[in-house]
Structure formats: C-alpha cells, structure tokens
Amino acid sequence: MKDKTVLYKISQGMYVLSTKGASCFVDAVSQVSGGENPLVCVAVMKKNYTNEVMHKTNHFALMVFGKNDNPDIIKTFGFSSSKEMDKFAKYEYFEQFDVKILKSMIGYMLLEKVDTIENETHTLFIGKVIDADKFKEEEAMTYSYYQEHKEELLKVQTERGKTAWVCSVCGYVYYGEELPNEFTCPVCMMPKEYFNLKKEEL
C-alpha cells in the first residue's frame, strides 16, 4: 500500500468502551441500523484484554469523548490494562448492569450484545442500544483530530527544575532524584522498570 494514513480520513470518533471488569479506548464504532433500539457495532483488537472480557459479558457501554474532555482519560483508558488497575478509580462514574459509565463525557450508549463477528485482528461486537443519554453539548473528537494532535494530547506535564520519573504506561509522575528500590506505580501498579527519567531545566 502506498499511504495507509488515508484511513485516518474515514470518519471515526474516540470512545471509551466499558464492560463488567474491563474498559479501553476504541475508535471504530458505527451505528448500523435505526429503529427504537438501533444496532451499534464496535471493533476491538483481539490482543486487548477488553476483547477477552467482552466475549464473557452481555452488556457494554460506549462513551463519546469530546475535544475539550480531560486528555488524561486517553492515557488511563488507552495505555494501561484493566488487568492491572481500576481505570475508573479517579473519575466520577455510575453503573448500569455492572457496567461503569463516566459522568464527564459528552454522553453514553448502553448496549445489550446481540452478535459477534471474528476478523483476523479484531472482533466486531454488535449491540442493541437499550439506554442512552447526552450530558453536554460539545464537539466530539474524531480519530483524525487525535492523530494530528496526539503528541500534544499525551504530553506529560512536569514541574520545572525538578527531577521527574514518568510512568510509560499511564503517565504518572514521581518526583525525586532516584526511584525507591521496590517502587511500583500507584496508578497502574507497574514496576520501576517502566519509569523514564525526565528533568525540566529552570
């Protein structure tokens, strides 16, 4: 293929996908039918732990991420595993059918799983919308916008003049000249080997 970045021009959004016991960021979401309870399809990578959990559960939620939403949500839900941390721990949420739903997003759809389609790299989960709500009027972030502004959105802020150790998984910052010997990240529980040194000059 000459230039696969043309795929970024396909209109896709940024969504938090949540089910009982797992959650992640996804971009390939599409409404595939109308009616009182429309069908929505979401593609989830087979390597993703959420994919494994989705096969065992009957309900899931999709939350729409906005341009002005907290970019830390991208770091938390996109670059850490539900196996190792509770991604919802530092955010406000409520639950339906044991599915956690963030209160800070544009809105959400709660779905009942009705079918799955297997692909070489992804599973397509098709769900029937059984509840939905919009919390605020805001422009949704597209996948194209995310790709164009990814470096800025995921930038780690540290205090100038201090030695900082940044977790490569979730972005947590520890200040100190050295990391303690048996230090683990308090957010994602990864060991010190996952931290990178970053020092901002005065």
Tokens of residue 57, six digits: 């559960």
27: left (phi over 0), alpha (psi -120 to 50) or beta: alpha
Tokens of residue 194, six digits: 């996952």
Q: Write the CB contacts of 8 (distance below 8 Å, at least 6 apart in sequence).
A: 143, 144, 147
pLDDT tens, residue by residue, 128-146:
999 999 999 999 999 888 8
Domains of the chain: 12-153 (2.30.110.10), 163-199 (2.20.28.10)
CA dist list (Å): 20 to 51, 91, 96, 114, 155: 12, 16, 10, 16, 30
What DSSP element (H or E) covers 51?
A: helix 49-54
CA dist list (Å): 58 to 71, 76, 107, 115, 153: 29, 24, 21, 10, 33
Distance, in Å, from the CA atom of 53 to the CA atom of 158, rounded to the nearest integer, reads: 35
What dihedral do alpha carbons 52, 58, 62, 63 form, nearest 10°?
-100
Note the pTM of the prediction, 2 decimals. 0.76
Distance, in Å, from the CA atom of 106 to the CA atom of 173, rounded to the nearest integer, reads: 28
pLDDT tens, residue by residue, 52-85:
999 999 999 999 999 999 888 988 898 778 888 8
pLDDT > 60? residue 200: no
pLDDT tens, residue by residue, 11-20:
789 999 999 9
